Amino acid sequence: MRTFKHIAFIFLTILIWTAFIGYGFMDGFLLRPITSEKTSEAFIEATKEKIDNEFVGNFAMTLIENGKVSKNFFYSIDKPVNENVLFPVASISKWVTSFGVLKLVEQGKLNLDKPVDDYLTRWHLPESEFDNKNVTVRKLLSHSSGLVDDLGYDGFTPNETVQTIEESLTKASDTEYSYGIAKVGYEPGSKYMYSGAGYTILQLLIEEISGQSFQAYMTQEVFEPLKMENSTFILSEKPNIQLAQIYKNDGTTRDMNKFTALAAASLLTTSADLSKFLQANISNNTVLSKETIKKMSTPETFINNIGVYGLGPHLYSQNDQNSNIIGHDGSGNNAINTAARIDLESKSGIIILETGNYDIASGIADEWIFWKAGIADYVVMQRNKSYLLTLLIMGYIIIVLSSIFIIQKKNKQRITAANN
């Protein structure tokens, strides 16, 4: 009976220790940040270690503290980069585009909750089993429109002919892994589903309402007011700006692709210009009011009751009450990965632009969120797995050895007492 109690005690202690480690892993309090020091310099040093272990062709990172740029870090295996070198930023284009859309809302030219088809003349949503009138600008901005295109634009090589917007929305030819058809496939507003075509529709919407090309409108209404002088959706518009080499994940380089889907995927910008865009989200600017910025960062779509998307930006705070981190990532096109985050509460942020690696920019940005706000994502959890496994096993060993020691000590005391 005594032996059974000892075994039961050891088993219960191991169970409690396992539960403690598991909870610490899920809740994040046992996870370690990429660096324990809270300075921009320390975060940059930790970033350098990651770059040493993973291929990156070129890399530009900017850290923002208290609303101002605190540190820059640049890396390249060939031609040097700096804060004024132009990078393709892929889907960060969508966040910047949302500024242009909401400018039209502020001007009273666009209603967020009016059917988008009511504004369009050059193309209309194809018939579906759902009511297309429920597809509104609000739902397009927040990826809850019901579109099931799964785009994903690869763009066109310099020698290929670029589709028109209407052609692309009817059947995009620059995609490898989806049908590329902008069609409603679930009830609009019922759930979150990321849609590239939704932002191509918004691109068309801007052209229809403004009477300008998308490039001209965004330059006039967003880039120029924010002094983003080196930003463009069309590379040929900035012939004198140095373009970062576009590295593939095997270390070779390629030419920059052209896009029909400018709003969804084609923005080219610099870390200096993107810093100005992030700062516009936390200060007075001449494009959007503070009220509109607040509306942008309010959750519109949810996954498991966690707000994941507002009117343009992705939401990263996971319902945390002490932060309000918004931003966007961009990836694909073998191999571009970019990330931008800004905390509207602390006014700290991060920008990472790189080519040559599919996910290092997003991974480091997720590390930054945990380092700054203690919010753990998949990347942080994966990095901590071996550490927590070691902690778990060490705990098991200590529990077993301590239990054996205590049992032996009690047995000796019992024998001594019996002999006396």
Q: Write the burial class of residue 129 (CB in 10 Å: 0-12 exposed, 13-18 middle, 19+ buried).
A: exposed
How would you classify residue 327: left for phi > 0, otherwise alpha for psi between -120 and 50, otherwise beta? Answer: left
- In the block, tokens 């502020």 appear at 106
Three-class secondary structure of residue 352 per DSSP:
strand
Mean pLDDT, to the nearest integer, of 321-338?
94
96 and 21 fall within a common domain: no
Lowest mean pLDDT among 31-40, 177-186, 269-278, 349-358: 177-186
Main-chain phi, psi angles of 150, to 5 degrees? 60, 35
Mean pLDDT, to the nearest integer, of 238-253?
94
pLDDT at position 420 is 64
Tokens of 17: 């220790």
414 and 364 fall within a common domain: no
321 and 296 fall within a common domain: yes
- The answer to whether residue 273 is domain-embedded is yes
CA distance 245 to 233: 17
The number of domains in the chain is: 2
222 and 261 fall within a common domain: yes
Mean pLDDT, to the nearest integer, of 8-28?
89
pLDDT at position 276 is 98
- The answer to whether residue 52 is domain-embedded is no
133 and 242 fall within a common domain: yes
CB atoms within 10 A of CB 306: 12
pTM (2 d.p.): 0.92
Residue 7 pLDDT greater than 90, yes or no:
no
Residue 411 pLDDT greater than 90, yes or no:
no
Q: Write the burial class of residue 155 (CB in 10 Å: 0-12 exposed, 13-18 middle, 19+ buried).
A: buried
pLDDT in tens, 144-191: 999 999 878 999 999 999 999 999 999 999 987 778 899 999 999 999
Give the domain-ending residue among 375, 392, 410: 375
pLDDT at position 349 is 98
Q: How confident is the model at residue 254 (pLDDT cuts 50, 70, 90)?
A: very high
Task: Please report, for residues 122, 197, 206, the alpha-carbon distance to residue 167 in angstroms, rounded to integers and kept in the order given.
Answer: 11, 12, 17
pLDDT at position 415 is 78
CA distance 234 to 261: 11
Domain boundaries, position 415: 2-31+383-419
Tokens of 409: 């000590």
CA distance 343 to 209: 32
Could you give the percent of the chain with pLDDT greater than 70?
Answer: 99
Residue 240 pLDDT greater than 70, yes or no:
yes
pLDDT at position 407 is 78
178 and 262 fall within a common domain: yes
Tokens of 50: 């990651």
pLDDT at position 1 is 63
Main-chain phi, psi angles of 390, to 5 degrees? -60, -45
- The answer to whether residue 38 is domain-embedded is no
16 and 149 fall within a common domain: no
- The answer to whether residue 41 is domain-embedded is no
174 and 288 fall within a common domain: yes
pLDDT in tens, 83-124: 999 999 999 999 999 999 999 999 999 999 999 999 999 999
pLDDT in tens, 192-238: 999 999 999 999 999 999 999 999 999 999 999 999 999 999 999 99
pLDDT at position 175 is 87
Task: Please report, for residues 61, 158, 196, 348, 350, the alpha-carbon distance to residue 340 in angstroms, rounded to integers and kept in the order given.
Answer: 10, 28, 18, 11, 6
pLDDT at position 360 is 96
- The answer to whether residue 342 is domain-embedded is yes
Mean pLDDT, to the nearest integer, of 293-308?
96
pLDDT at position 177 is 74
CA distance 158 to 260: 13
Residue 418 pLDDT greater than 90, yes or no:
no
Residue 245 pLDDT greater than 80, yes or no:
yes
Residue 347 pLDDT greater than 80, yes or no:
yes
- The CATH number given to whatever domain includes residue 155 is 3.40.710.10
- Whether residue 297 contacts residue 79, with contact meaning beta carbons closer than 8 Å, is answered with no
Q: Output the DSSP codes for 291-311.
A: HHHHHHTS--EEETTEEEE-S
403 and 265 fall within a common domain: no
pLDDT at position 115 is 97
335 and 411 fall within a common domain: no
Task: Please report, for residues 209, 228, 275, the alpha-carbon distance to residue 212 in angstroms, rounded to integers and kept in the order given.
Answer: 8, 19, 27
Residue 2 pLDDT greater than 70, yes or no:
no
208 and 111 fall within a common domain: yes
pLDDT at position 290 is 95
Q: Mean pLDDT score of the chain, rounded to an integer?
A: 94
CA distance 119 to 110: 9
Q: How confident is the model at residue 6 (pLDDT cuts 50, 70, 90)?
A: confident
12 and 144 fall within a common domain: no
Mean pLDDT, to the nearest integer, of 270-280?
98
pLDDT at position 81 is 97
